[in-house]
Amino acid sequence: MIEYCIANYLIEEGRITNEQFGELLNKQDAARVKLGLIAVSEGLITKAQADEINRLQMTRDARFGDIAVDLGYLREDQITMLLRMQGSSYHAFLQVLTDEGIIKLEEADEIMKKVRLKEGLSTADIDAIKEGVVERILPIYMQDIPQPMIDLAGVLLRTIVRIADRHAFIEKAEIYSSYELKYAEVQEFGGETGKFVTAYEDVHGGLVLLASAFAKEAFKHVDEDSLDAVGEFENIVNGLYCSKLSKSDINFDLEPQHTVESGTVTGVVCVLPVRIRNKKFNFIVCDKI
């Protein structure tokens, strides 16, 4: 996730382009293996066990390692070892940048200092983004946002990281009393304690990438087919969120998702820009009045 902060700085400095950033991410991905693959290759779990964990991730909002520990397939110390073997995204991205001759390794600290100042972040904020821990990143970009909306955004971001783009990142969220939707995929859900509306709205091609990654089909435009795929993804995210709430005896019912070409949501409306592969879409959640 820190890749976006570094890349935005380098793009503004004219040292890379948006197109180059996409290529750099591809090279970074090519150099990284999944935790499950490492665990299998090290003889810690079988391929069947890894496949089982991957399937469970589609129904549970949890990391591969957390599920593996819950099932008794791996210990916490083994997860720590595997994560070290994977390497951090920050160091992996720096490696690609230096390999490509875009920066010198000795520039890294100065670049990160400039990134921190440019983004108005603290040293602790930068450390959280480097770690890529969603729970620590959300409060940085969702200040003064109601906690239920932050929790829902957390489910969204973790799900995107798992199935669409592990580099996915967010920008600063904004709160409105009403918001005009334009060609968005929408779903309502609620119960006795309240009602929410979520919407996914394209900005710069982000929904096409999300739909393509989720459906494993190459969509080219935001159209009925791609929005259907986005709607299925939206239903999974909201379903995971509602499933978590049910453990606290809070029961919400999901209504069918649908496309809204033009409309207005009112209430407490949070608009969270989400970046995947340097494209963007807005995640909108409204505490409906």
The reported pLDDT for the residue numbered 128 is: 87
Which burial class, exposed, middle or buried, applies to 13 when counting CB atoms under 10 A from its CB (0-12, 13-18, 19+)? Answer: exposed
Dihedral pair phi/psi, residue 189, rounded to 5°? -155, 150
Mark whether 199 and 177 lie in a shared domain: yes
In a domain, 276, yes or no: yes
pLDDT score recorded for residue 250 = 85
Of 135, 156, 177, the position where a domain reaches its end is: 135
Per-residue confidence (pLDDT) for residue 53, from 0 to 100? 94
Q: Where are the beta strands (DSSP E) in the chain?
A: 169-170, 174-191, 194-202, 253-254, 258-276, 279-288
pLDDT digits (tens, 9 = 90+) for 246-272: 888 888 899 999 999 999 999 999 999
pLDDT tens digit sequence for 150-163: 999 999 999 998 88
Burial (CB < 10 A; 0-12, 13-18, 19+), residue 16, is: buried
Per-residue pLDDT band for 87 (boundaries 50, 70, 90) equals low
Q: How confident is the model at residue 31 (pLDDT cuts 50, 70, 90)?
A: low
Structure tokens at 269: 């409306």
Claim to verify: residue 210 and residue 113 sit in the same structural domain: no
Q: Is the pLDDT of residue 107 over 90?
A: no
What phi-psi label fits residue 72: left (phi over 0), alpha (psi between -120 and 50 degrees) or beta?
left
Residue 160 and residue 108 share a domain: no
Q: How many CB atoms lie within 10 A of CB 204?
A: 14
Q: Name the pLDDT band for 22 (thresholds 50, 70, 90).
A: confident
Position with higher pLDDT, 195 vs 273 = 273
What pLDDT, on the 0 to 100 scale, is given for residue 208?
94
Q: Is residue 141 part of a domain?
A: no
Q: Kindly state the average pLDDT of the residues 170-192.
A: 92
Name the domain count of the chain.
2
Statement to judge: residues 158 and 273 lie in one domain: yes
> For residue range 196-223, what is the model confidence (pLDDT) as tens digits?
999 999 998 899 999 999 999 999 999 9
Share of the chain above pLDDT 70, in %: 98
Average pLDDT for the chain? 89
> Average pLDDT, stretch 18-35?
80
pLDDT at 218: 93
Give the residues across from 209 on adjacent strands.
none
Using CA atoms, how far residue 222 sits from 84, 207, 227, 234, in Å, is: 39, 7, 7, 15
226 domain residue, yes or no: yes
Domain coverage including residue 282: 148-288
The residue out of 87, 112, 135 marking a domain boundary is 135
CATH code assigned at 182: 3.40.1550.10
Domain termination residue (choose one: 135, 170, 185): 135
* Residue 32, pLDDT score: 60
Do the domain assignments include residue 96?
yes
User: Is there a domain that residue 38 lies in?
Assistant: yes
Kindly indicate the confidence band of residue 192, based on its pLDDT and cuts at 50, 70 and 90.
confident
Please check whether residue 140 lies inside any domain of the structure: no
**Residues 240/157, Cβ–Cβ less than 8 Å:** no
The answer to whether residues 152 and 250 belong to one domain is: yes
CA distance 287 to 289: 7
Based on the fold, state whether residues 189 and 271 are members of the same structural domain: yes
**Cα–Cα distance for residue pair 20/139, rounded to 1 Å:** 30
Q: Are residues 35 and 129 in the same domain?
A: yes
d(CA 100, CA 226): 35
Confidence of residue 33 (pLDDT cuts 50, 70, 90): low
Rounded CA-CA distance 111/286 in Å is 37
Q: Give the number of C-alpha atoms closer than 13 A to the C-alpha of residue 113, restricted to the C-beta side.
A: 5
Q: What is the pLDDT, as a whole number, of residue 103? A: 87
**Same domain membership, residue 254 and residue 224:** yes
237 plus 184 within the same structural domain: yes
